[in-house]
Chains A and B, each alone.
Chain A
């Protein structure tokens, strides 16, 4: 059964997959930092998904509800729902998405560039989730 995106259940499914992936554990062994995925819509407030990533493991993951205040995070990845869909459907390369600004990155670019293999493995893992997109 497909998991809806963006949602709490989807980000928790991603957490489980990351923590069961030897490839991600190896690629992200040096990664330290939590992040928000900010999904922008034309007609409503953005959706926020939080993940806390630490040395190849996902320590926490949840969808931010409307009543919560966003916390200070290491990274914020911002894109329209349309572009998130393209990345998750493998229609848009994640590197290309960042280079062209289709996904905007706020945070420490030094950390990001040192860990591009981790980013690629993260996306590869996310693409494995059978997803229903809540447009």
Chain B
């Protein structure tokens, strides 16, 4: 099957049954792969009564049609389920080498159901699939040691291991999956879902000599991907990502007032200029790392004084443990990021929860006694202490482990928690990039910058996926249709699964997909794959209870900064949301896609489902 291995591996951990499930070509054409295809495959299973931490919650790891090829930055895979954080649709994607290796083993994806009676890991060695005991790994090893131990046990140095940390074992709803050199599926608590199944890790190694993905027109595909990679490697965007990592734009985002500080309450922090990607490059950077066949190499390797070389922080980790806590110590931020990785905790959510704790402490709503000590702005020591408390669910840690909204509620200050649908907001501020207001409010997985990185349109001026139009970064309702368009295209990327850092012209992406799959889409048909999946995820969430009332922004993001590059500005959110609904073809009263919208996208059965609910 061109572009696909044509089958999923399915493992029921309750019964131990291991099978393969063929993939339907017509379904692939409608959804491509990644989180789009996952939504179609999981739709029947994701019901309102489903316990996200129960054995019935399906955990689906899925590649796209380009994964494992040498196409531009296409080595990612997605992880989808019902989220223990939000109770809604969950998806998170991850780089590294695990996804391509799963394809080299002969599977497009892996569907895990059930719950093992005791901790296990999976070992997939081409056609040989084995469920192995993992008692010795449970509660002991950090995520990097876990990988090492499993590789040693299976006797394959090149086995790729995707694992949870103790955060996932403890069912923390913002725990993650990690593989390789610290590549993570960080958001929506997929680590907890895997932990709830007593599944510590999945190790995979394809057979030698079969490390090739079948494509429809091989010579054409190879010519296209060579040209695309050359263009990408020489682009300004790739250059700055390679030289400075994902925090390359720190100074710019700081200047424009797009980088939040002091837990979203300040637009200025002089120390921000000491913790940027550029400063990392000039001070502690000792190497770079890359995902499968990627020419960008945005991964950071840094060496702190007296320590071995290890992973350097990404933009979100830097801002979350840096300016959001008024910390200007890059080494301390690096260590906090590594601690989260070792424990298997998402740095965005963890740092957001900690930022709220610092804010509440400054307001006298959290005491030093509860927090195990003071939480003074600028002191990274308090953050480290809270991470340990969270992992152990000790004292205040039991509340922190439930997320920002729970902490706010506990302190009678829920409105101060910066989250949407119980997913903590990432660090691109809609007060400087108004498009992000709609992105956060309407993302199917809660506040998320990876369903659409519209700040790259508003500030980085990358209009490749937004109709070629440049609008004022602070524009209002007139931007809504462009945001929807950008979300559609980013949903295509999340289907492929292609890294957002690879800014490849749409025409090139289209040619690559067509040469690989033979689907021969038009450009609009390819976009429609994204729109269809976006609406399907919305319908899943509607079935899970989501309404228009869920499309909100937290109070902080609608409160203007007094200083900084975006001082005095807030997005005109109500008008933007109404315009967005009109652009999407969604019903204002219920928050559901209209029947007409769903029928236009070929989702008549879904329309019957969600409009039968009243």
A interface, CB within 8 angstroms of B: 93, 95-96, 98-101, 104-105, 109-111, 113-117
Interface string of B551-593 (1 = CB under 8 A from A): 0000000000000000000000000000000000000000000
B interface, CB within 8 angstroms of A: 235-237, 239-240, 243-244, 248-249, 251-252, 255, 273, 276-279, 281-282, 459-463, 470, 503
Partner of A93, one of B243, B252, B273, B470: B470
Partner of A109, one of B244, B251, B273, B282: B244
Instruction: Name 21 A/B residue pairs within 8 A (Cβ), A-sorted.
Output: A93-B470, A95-B459, A95-B460, A95-B461, A96-B470, A99-B460, A99-B503, A100-B461, A101-B235, A104-B236, A105-B236, A109-B239, A110-B243, A110-B278, A110-B282, A113-B248, A113-B249, A113-B252, A113-B278, A114-B273, A116-B255
Residues of A within 8 A of B237 (CB): 99
Residues of B within 8 A of A100 (CB): 236, 461-462
> Which of B237, B239, B251 has the largest number of chain A CB atoms within 10 A?
B251
Residues of B within 8 A of A99 (CB): 236-237, 460-462, 503
Q: Residue of A at shortest CB range from B249? A: A113
**Distance to closest chain A CB from B230 (angstroms):** 13
Question: What DSSP secondary structure best describes chain B's contact surface?
Answer: helix
Residues of B within 8 A of A117 (CB): 251-252, 255
Q: Residue of B at shortest CB range from A114? A: B278
A114 touches B236 (CB 8 A): no
A96 to B470, CA, bound (A): 9
Residues of B within 8 A of A110 (CB): 243-244, 278, 281-282
A27 to B138, CA, bound (A): 53
Shortest 10 CB-CB contacts between residues of A and residues of B: A96-B461, A116-B252, A114-B278, A117-B255, A110-B278, A95-B461, A109-B243, A114-B251, A110-B281, A93-B461
A116 to B237, CA, bound (A): 14
A115 to B239, CA, bound (A): 16
A104 to B461, CA, bound (A): 15
Residues of B within 8 A of A115 (CB): 251
A93 to B460, CA, bound (A): 10
A114 to B244, CA, bound (A): 10
**Distance to closest chain A CB from B458 (angstroms):** 11
Residues of A within 8 A of B503 (CB): 99
A101 to B232, CA, bound (A): 11
A114 touches B276 (CB 8 A): yes
**Distance to closest chain B CB from A131 (angstroms):** 22
Known: A101-B236, A110-B281. A96 touches B463 (CB 8 A): yes
**Distance to closest chain A CB from B351 (angstroms):** 23
> Which of A99, A101, A104, A117 has the largest number of chain B CB atoms within 10 A?
A99
**Distance to closest chain A CB from B279 (angstroms):** 8
> Which of A101, A104, A105, A114 has the largest number of chain B CB atoms within 10 A?
A114
A100 to B239, CA, bound (A): 12
A117 to B503, CA, bound (A): 23
B236 touches A113 (CB 8 A): no
A86 to B535, CA, bound (A): 39
A98 touches B252 (CB 8 A): no
Residues of B within 8 A of A111 (CB): 278
Residues of A within 8 A of B240 (CB): 109, 113
A96 to B461, CA, bound (A): 5
Residues of A within 8 A of B281 (CB): 110
Q: Residue of B at shortest CB range from A115? A: B251
Residues of A within 8 A of B459 (CB): 95
Q: Residue of B at shortest CB range from A94? A: B461
Supply 16 further A-B pairs (C-beta < 8 A) apart from A100-B236, A113-B244: A93-B470, A96-B461, A99-B460, A99-B461, A100-B462, A104-B236, A109-B236, A109-B244, A110-B244, A111-B278, A113-B252, A113-B277, A113-B278, A114-B251, A114-B273, A116-B252
Q: Residue of B at shortest CB range from A119? A: B252
A99 to B461, CA, bound (A): 7
Q: Residue of B at shortest CB range from A93? A: B461
**Distance to closest chain B CB from A58 (angstroms):** 21
Residues of A within 8 A of B251 (CB): 113-117
Residues of A within 8 A of B243 (CB): 109-110
Residues of B within 8 A of A109 (CB): 236, 239-240, 243-244
**Distance to closest chain A CB from B1 (angstroms):** 37
Q: Residue of A at shortest CB range from B461? A: A96
Q: Residue of B at shortest CB range from A111? A: B278
A114 to B250, CA, bound (A): 8
Q: Residue of B at shortest CB range from A95? A: B461
Q: Residue of B at shortest CB range from A117? A: B255
Q: Residue of B at shortest CB range from A98? A: B236
> Which of B236, B276, B277, B503 has the largest number of chain A CB atoms within 10 A?
B236
**Distance to closest chain B CB from A96 (angstroms):** 3
A101 to B240, CA, bound (A): 13
Q: Residue of A at shortest CB range from B464? A: A100
**Distance to closest chain A CB from B467 (angstroms):** 14
A104 to B234, CA, bound (A): 10
A101 to B278, CA, bound (A): 21
